[in-house]
Amino acid sequence: MPSMGLARIVDRPDTKSGRAFDLLVQFLIVVSLVTYSIETLPNTTPSSRHLLGIVEGVIVGVFTLEYVLRVLAAERKLAFVFSFFGLIDLLAILPFYLSLGIDLRSVRAFRLLRLFRILKLARYSKAVRRFHRALSIAREEIVLFLCVTAILLFLAAVGIHHFESEAQPEQFASVFHSLWWAVATLTTVGYGDVYPITVGGRIFTFGILLIGLGVVSVPAGLVASALSKARAIEDAEQFEVDRDQAIAGE
């Protein structure tokens, strides 16, 4: 069976050729994101656009080859096609083939589909797996505090609208306009496009910041502590694998 030799390339990152193939795919994903960015530059010459098109073609070619190999290498082919990574691999190449038939280049949102290729990186990334685990540990609490943050932002917007809407009817026209101020302030970004000018609004800002800094920083702390727990679990699992191998090797 010839597919078995090829299967080794896509399925066995522990072999030399498998590792090389993985690195190639990762490299092409990054190249693909860079070409996407270059295409957004305002003054691209026709010749450079032509070059970008060729690069895109080569990338899609390699990704198509990878997809075919993965399907061939899979024991249960249909299960792979409808798995998370199977769909992602398909989505990474499908838009290109569709755009060959119909001219979809003008549809801006369509080009965004190419960014799904970033998800292909998830296959190689320990960070994504750990994040996933950390989120499942702290999901309930993170949702809880996102709700609290949402309520706080709403109250901040209502309050500042109450104080500033008369002095600055443009910037603080409604609660919705004021929400933008609340987001920029409570995350401490503070662009400086909207800020309170009345005494009442400034005292209110002071008060809401004292409370808000504590609340807004909580989810970040939860993520950080969940990540360290996820790491401890990973280490424990690795320890067990190592021990089992050591016992088996005796």
CA-atom Rg of the chain in angstroms: 26
Q: List Cβ neighbours of 70 (8 Å cut-off, separation of 6 or more).
A: 10, 11, 80, 86, 89
Instruction: Return the number of the residue (36 or 96) whose C-beta is nearest a second copy.
Output: 36
Angle between the N-to-C axes of helices 199-249 and 126-164, in degrees from 0 to 180, rounded to the nearest 10: 170
113 is an interface residue for a second copy by CB under 8 A: no
DSSP reduced 3-state for 209: helix
Query: Binding segment for a second copy among 2-10, 14-22, 145-153, 242-250 (CB under 8 A)?
Result: 145-153
First to last CA, the chain: 35
Cα–Cα distance measured from residue 63 to residue 58, given in angstroms and rounded to the nearest whole number: 9
Instruction: Return the number of the residue (74 or 142) whose C-beta is nearest a second copy.
Output: 142
Query: Binding segment for a second copy among 16-24, 63-71, 75-83, 222-230 (CB under 8 A)?
Result: 222-230
Given candidates 7, 25, 216, 230, which one binds a second copy under the rule CB under 8 A? 216
Helices (H) and strands (E) in the chain, counts: 10, 0
145 is an interface residue for a second copy by CB under 8 A: yes
Query: Binding segment for a second copy among 77-85, 96-104, 155-163, 238-246 (CB under 8 A)?
Result: 155-163
Query: Binding segment for a second copy among 55-63, 75-83, 120-128, 240-248 (CB under 8 A)?
Result: 120-128
Given candidates 31, 33, 52, 55, which one binds a second copy under the rule CB under 8 A? 33
Residues in 50-109 that interact with a second copy by CB under 8 A: 108-109
Instruction: Return the number of the residue (81 or 215) whose C-beta is nearest a second copy.
Output: 215
Query: Binding segment for a second copy among 39-47, 50-58, 61-69, 79-87 (CB under 8 A)?
Result: 39-47
- Kindly state the tokens that stand for 5: 């030799």
Residues in 176-205 that interact with a second copy by CB under 8 A: 176, 179-180, 183-185, 187-193, 195, 202, 205
CB of 153 closer than 8 Å to CB of 58: no
Task: Kindly determine how many residues on this chain lie close enough to bind a second copy according to the rule CB under 8 A.
Answer: 71
- Kindly state the tokens that stand for 205: 């800002």
CB of 26 closer than 8 Å to CB of 124: yes
CB of 154 closer than 8 Å to CB of 176: no
Given candidates 2, 14, 41, 249, which one binds a second copy under the rule CB under 8 A? 41
